Structures are given as C-alpha cells and as structure tokens.
Structure 1
C-alpha cells in the first residue's frame, strides 16, 4: 500500500532538517496543507494532473506569494515578500503539486559552478566534495537526493542542464518563452528559459506540461529507424576530460546500436560567428541592464565574482547590442538551415568532470577557467534558441556527466520523445 502524500512529505522533511544549504526556504505550512489536500483528492478518486500530490521544489528566482525572492543573494535578502505567485508557480498549485520549498542557487544565476557565499554551497549528490553545478544547484541536488520528486529551474547558459549532468539527473532547457517568465528575477531576458529537472525524461515531460500549460505526452513505439541525429565534436570536445570524451563516444555507439542514424555535424564556424556578434558576451550586457540600479546602490554586497562578470557588460553601447541581436537572429536562421533533415544533434553537456568546491573557492583563476568550460557547450543552445536536454551519462569513479540532445526552437515535443528513446543509451 502506497504511503499518503503527507507521510511522504513528512519523511522528506525529517531527512533534510532545516534544508540548508540545498534550500533557502522550506514552505512547511503550505506544503503540509497541499499534501493533505492531495490526500483528500485521492480518497475521493480525484486527480488534478499527472503531478497531483508530487513533491516539487522551485528555484529561488521564482516568486512565491508571501515569501521573499532572494535570487541566492544577500543583496535582496529581507526585501518585500512577493505579492503573488509567478505564473509557473500558480500552475504548479493548480496542478496539485506539493511545493516543499525554494532551492539554493548561484547568486543571481550568474555562474555554472554553483557556489553561494550567502546561503552556502550544496555539494553534488554524487560527491559532496564536488560542485553541484549552477546556477540551479539546489534544484538538482534536491531531486538527486530525493527531497523533491521534481524541481523547477532556470537556464540562461546551461543552468538546468549543467547541475543535472553533475548530479546524475535529467534537466531541460525548453524553447525560449515556452514557460512564461513573469515573476522570475531575470539574468538575461533574451536568453532565460524556465525549465524542469527530474530523475528521468518522463518526469521532465510531466513537469513541463504543467509549467507550459499544454501537454507534452511521450510517444509510444517511436521507430529508431526514422530518426537522424547529428554528432558534434570539434569545439564541443575541446579541452575535454578523457573520461568525458570516452563516455561520449561510448554513448554515441550505443545510440547507433538502437538503430538511429547518426552523422557528424560541424557547428564550430557558426559558433565562432555567434561569439563575435558583440564586443562582450550578450549575457553580460543584459545582466548589466538588469542590475544597474542595484549595483549603484549595493555593489559592496554582491558576490565579487558575480559583480565582476556583470561589470563586463557595462561599457557596451546600445548600437553594438542592437546590431548584435540582428546578427544573432540571422545566425539562428542559418543554424536551422544547417540542421534541416536532422532531428537534433548530440554533444557532451559539459566537457569536464565536476571540480571540487575547495578548488573553486580558493582560486579566482581556476574558478573562471572552469566556469568558461562548464558553460561553453550548453550556452550554445541559449544563444541559438534551441530546445535542449541533458541525460545522465556516467563517467566512472561514481562521477556523472551529461549527454546533451538539442534541436531547433519549437521542437520540444520531438526532443522529449527522442530523449526518452536514447535515455538508456546515455546511461550505458
């Protein structure tokens, strides 16, 4: 006999204590009320959605009514509580989710490492001495450790997919604006996407259906023989750890054995053109605009590494940004044309193993070098507005990486279907 939702919730709460540093805030009263309501519906034979009674957490970028949105930063700590739920959070409530709490993250979502100087850094669920990945650090750890069954993250340069890879779970960046971003503290509005993290593809599909308010039902009996995938190497494998390169090639071989056609795809030229569209990275320009007033009044309270990256975008001229966005649109179209005839392409989610927390805390040079590598592959998907998902890809020695499947904008349903098909091949 299955446990009640309330029993399941109480067991999770007993295990995680005050929740720190995975959570910035546990929503004890409302979660218990939601669990009791879910149990009453079960007794009455009612179900609001496929996630009714599921324990879900949300990244602390999203507004939850009556709770301060800290965005992982002491800059906002103590600010006025949110007056209403973000649309994505409201959809979770209508679907009958039990929202256990708000998860920790990189300050203002601006790093792929996952360190947090205000709320502490949660160690990876795979190895507590290693970084969780960012910026949705607590989100991924909460699912990997089982305190949440599903979790909502955001992805501006890989922030759902990176921590998913390092924690051995699945994380998805949907096509931009698939999930409404109102009530979510922005990093770079043209690149931000709200997305799901779960143990598997099916969990991501269930959660995305609620967040997007439209069904993403996984297909049955999908024929591998009808699928063609590109295989990215080149720059996506530059500076790769041997364990990642080996696991990636082995995963490709297993995908081929499923009967899926694979072929090399060279994306390096377009990638270099995209990186050259603006004198500084687009994410820094948009972040500088978002943070202009806060940086003027509270610069000393920022994490110095986050402030340093935001500052890169400050000198950018409006004309440079406008031209860059025009060039970006053209490059997105050119990539779509190059990928015509393919159902998507594969790449490693991250090219290196998760570094240790101690190493990242101790040395700025090491931090920024690792951050560049960790963000490089998944950020391709944000700049080119792809939909993209990271599947768990074991690296040996109990470490985890990710096999990333990406497709052109709007093909989220097809992406999920193919991801479900190749999920066993990624895991070995």
Structure 2
C-alpha cells in the first residue's frame, strides 16, 4: 500500500497528464489534499486501522463534500454544504482522501454525460463518444486512473451506464442501503448513492464501508447452481454491431461457470422503463428542483434539455401519478413472476454506445434508448451490479446483473463469475457431492467439473473430526488412486475456504490420474499418525458405505 500523500501526488500528476478538465467541477487545492493525506499516514503509523488509507476518491457534484460547493451541475444552484454527506464521511473515516467534485448531467437528469454547462464529459477510451451519465465525471475519473473509487448516484441508470461505457464496475445498491442525506435529489424516492471502481472487490469493499448496517438477511435460496434469467435476442431489440454476440458470450461464461440459464419475459421491464420519463414519475424531479428551474428560466447556466424535462413535469396532473402507480404495480408483479426463483437477471447495460454528435443530434431519443434496460430497476425496487464484459471493436461493452432488494452480496458474487478467474479444486471427502460440507462449495458459486481419481501416489486416512473427514497425504510407497471430484470456483472463493480451513486440513497441490496438477484438500502428515488407514477402499464414499456410517451434519 502506498502512502496517502504519495497517492494524492500521483493522482494530481495523472490529472495533468490526461488533460480532461471537463471531468471536474471543482478540485480541492493540492496542498489541502496532501495535508489531509499526511494526517492519514500519521494515523496509520500510530497503529490506526484505516482500510482505505492510500486511496483517493472522486465525488459526484450532487453529493455534499465539506469545503466544496455542491452545484448539481448548475452554477446558479451552488451552495456550501455544512458537512460531508454520510457516504463521503464514511469513506474519509476509512482513510480515503477526496480529490474533488465531478461533473454530471445537470440535476442528475440524463444518461449521456453531455448535459452540463461545465462541458460534455468525453469517454475515457474514445473521446468522440459519450461517457454516459449522469455520473459521468466520477466514472471517467476512475477509468482514467485518477481516482481509485468514485461516488455517483443512480435513479434511471446513472451508476451503471457510465460504468459500462468506460470499462469499470458500478454497483447500484438496494434503495436505502446507503444514506442519501446530503445528496441533491433527482427523484428522492428512487435515488441511490452508487460506487465506481476498476475491480469488483474494490467496489464491494467501498460499498460495505458506506452502507448502513443490514437488518434483514439476504433472501434464502435453495442449494444448487446460480439461476440466471436471460432474455432471448428478439426481446433485447436492436443492439450495436457485435453487442448481441458479446452478450451471448457473457451468458455462456456464466453457464460455463455452472449457472443455470432460464428464460424470462422482458416486456414488463422495458414497459416500465418507458414510464420513468414518459409517465408521471418525472414529476418528482420537478418537486426536487422545479421551483429553481422556473425561477431561472433562460439562464445560461441551465441546460436547455434538462430544464425542458423538469419544467414540463410541472403540468402533469395528480391523477396521472396514481394511474401510473397502479400500472407500475401490475408490471412489477409480472416482472417478478417472470423472474420466478432466478437469482439474477442478466442484461446488456445499454443497447448501444452513441457518439457525442449522435447525442447532440437527438438528445432525447438517444437518452431514451440508453435507459431501455436500466430505467426499471429502481422503479421495481431492485439491486444491480454493472461489470465489463467486452471489449467489442475496441470499445468497452458491459452487462449488468439485476436482482431482488437486499441481494447485493449475491449479485456481486454472481458478477464475480464474469470478472474473476475460475480455479479448479480437488475434493476427496466431506466436500464431495451429497456430503455434509458440499454446501460450502455451492455457497461460493462452485460447480462440479468432473469425477475422477488422484494419481496412484496417495494414501487416505479416517480422521476423528466433526463432521468426519478423511486425510489425504502423498506417499512415497503404498499409495493408490483415490476417488476425487474436481470443482471450479472463483479465486476469491478459494481464498475464503483457505481462511476458514480448520487444522489439520490444508490446501496443496494434488496430482490427478491424467497427470494434471490442481489445488486440493490435503492433510498435515502429523495428523494421520495413529489414524485408521482406509486407502484400500479407494475413496471416502466406499469406506463409509463399507462401515455403514452416515456422516454427521456440519454443526455450522
């Protein structure tokens, strides 16, 4: 871990190197950021545990940062916040240093990243294309390597579209999981504070630090492979060239990792998506900032597209809202019924990636197309994770996994199948299919790859453990081939197993019958002294069958 001061200096060097002034609305003075970083370094040196020490953060311009004006992308709206928003304060308390306030689609109204008097934020990979909004500056700051983490918001997809377009991770948590105090509202009942990072583990760690304690457990699921709902190509509608193939490839990666792919009716999702701006729900944007927009009509600081959207919402009759709420409730019931017992819905994050010129030519139409898959998520009170799944023709392509409220951890684990290498693990005992510890593998997203045996240089012993387990050791003589299963699981899952592995069990290299070397469960040699050798049975199952012994359940 680099020192906090060194990281702040590197960030400012990177800011000068990339020359993207439109990313920022305001930067903290370099000396001020370095002084705060020096305090972080001093705390670490004194023994403080600061999990984000040495990390720098960018914050969307509609989220309060003490000492910086909160503009929401509109100079005339600016106000000096009295304190950090809770999400910002929690990152700082963990040792992160805030670099500054980032550009956005004004009043968080848009998915394009161009609706700002501070300039259109260009894509991190192709400057002729949009960065995606409304959390445009935050996403690009991370993608360009300036910031390690960034905060955004998401009402219609603003924490996911910019992630997809810039090749990074965006987590849109369950509504209410992260406090929205100190955030200029777009639609207050739907708004979420979101996290951007270059990797999924970094984003998860940051979300864990800014979220309120979770009082309700993740909804229960039956053991088995992940179940992923995947719409067919016709339901997705027109996609950019190569995107349908990239989406199919992402679905296949999930299937190859052991997920069960299920059909889904996408119609209620896309129908609800159209209601976010075309229906009465947009009136909540007028409730947030409509009076300001009306009072400053024609001001050069107001983006005309944003002002038009918000002002038109003033005249929506109240009865229309109640009608739309009933319609939305019916669509939500259909959508959830279509998902059934699926753990997640896999979708492209957007149907395409327009250029700056294309958005300028049709600002409303281009924006509406971008929200086809994202707009319904918060209306349906769902959680989502957006991850890279490309590139396609040199540009980032992204997908998202959407699931029920409070399945944030589950969605991240499934998304890890797309972003994390899958490693083989050989098991010979209590983790075999149907045995009492097999559920540990299933919970980590593991899938059974093959049934085989070890090479003929191993000996097996019955250990006195709870639940009963065998001990596998490599032998110089007297060995035999032992029944084994090879499972595939994410690398982080293997780390989880290792961290919780009780002695005398260990993980080491196991040679299989075909000569392949894989990680597998072994036993410390000292533990088998005096234990009953059961090598002659050829495996743990055969031994248990011979003695008529049913393994006890794992007490955990």
The answer to whether the superposition gives a TM-score over 0.5 is yes
Would you identify which runs of 4 or more consecutive aligned residues in structure 1 move more than 4 Å?
275-279
Residue 136 of structure 1 is matched in structure 2 by 135
Secondary structure class of the residue paired with 2:399 = strand
Distance 1:290 1:415 in 2: 31
CA deviations over 1:210-241 (Å, ceiling 9, x no partner): 111448xxxxxxx9952111002467521211
Distance 1:247 1:377 in 2: 16
Contact 2:283 2:314 in 1 (8 A): yes
Residue 241 of structure 1 is matched in structure 2 by 240
Distance 1:355 1:57 in 2: 25
Distance 1:159 1:425, change over 3 A: farther
Distance 1:398 1:224, change over 3 A: farther
Query: Which one has the bigger strand percentage?
Result: 2
Unaligned 5+ segments in structure 2 are 215-221, 423-556
Secondary structure class of the residue paired with 1:300 = coil
The answer as to 2:204 corresponding to 1:202 is no
The answer as to 2:25 corresponding to 1:24 is yes
Distance 1:193 1:371 in 2: 20
Residue 402 of structure 1 is matched in structure 2 by 398
Residue 65 of structure 1 is matched in structure 2 by 66
Secondary structure class of the residue paired with 2:47 = coil
The answer as to 2:131 corresponding to 1:102 is no
Unaligned 5+ segments in structure 1 are 216-222
Pairing of 1:237-276 with structure 2 (within 5 A): 237-269=236-268, 271-272=270-271, 274=272
Contact 1:280 1:312 in 2 (8 A): no
Distance 2:106 2:340 in 1: 38
Secondary structure class of the residue paired with 1:289 = helix
Distance 1:136 1:239 in 2: 25
Distance 1:91 1:250, change over 3 A: same
Distance 1:235 1:310 in 2: 33
Residue 341 of structure 2 is matched in structure 1 by 341
Distance apart, 1:311 and its partner CA: 3.0
Secondary structure class of the residue paired with 1:396 = coil
Contact 1:344 1:407 in 2 (8 A): yes
Q: What is the TM-score normalised by the length of structure 2?
A: 0.70
Residue 220 of structure 1 is matched in structure 2 by none
Contact 1:225 1:260 in 2 (8 A): no
Secondary structure class of the residue paired with 2:76 = coil
Secondary structure class of the residue paired with 1:421 = helix
Distance apart, 1:261 and its partner CA: 0.8
Residue 459 of structure 2 is matched in structure 1 by none
Deviates more, 1:332-341 or 1:88-97: 332-341
Contact 1:407 1:415 in 2 (8 A): yes
Contact 2:348 2:373 in 1 (8 A): yes
Contact 1:234 1:266 in 2 (8 A): no
Distance 1:104 1:278 in 2: 23
Secondary structure class of the residue paired with 2:119 = coil
Q: CA RMSD in A?
A: 2.6
Give the one of 37, 42, 65 matched to 1:40.
42
Deviates more, 1:289-298 or 1:97-106: 289-298
The answer as to 2:185 corresponding to 1:183 is no
Deviates more, 1:311-320 or 1:184-193: 311-320
Pairing of 1:80-229 with structure 2 (within 5 A): 80-214=79-213, 226-229=225-228
Contact 2:269 2:376 in 1 (8 A): no
Residue 285 of structure 1 is matched in structure 2 by 283
Contact 2:111 2:157 in 1 (8 A): yes
Distance 1:276 1:376, change over 3 A: closer
Distance 1:188 1:282, change over 3 A: farther
Contact 1:348 1:404 in 2 (8 A): yes
Give the one of 364, 373, 378 matched to 2:374.
378
Contact 2:253 2:417 in 1 (8 A): no
Residue 543 of structure 2 is matched in structure 1 by none
Contact 1:104 1:137 in 2 (8 A): yes
Distance 1:224 1:423 in 2: 23
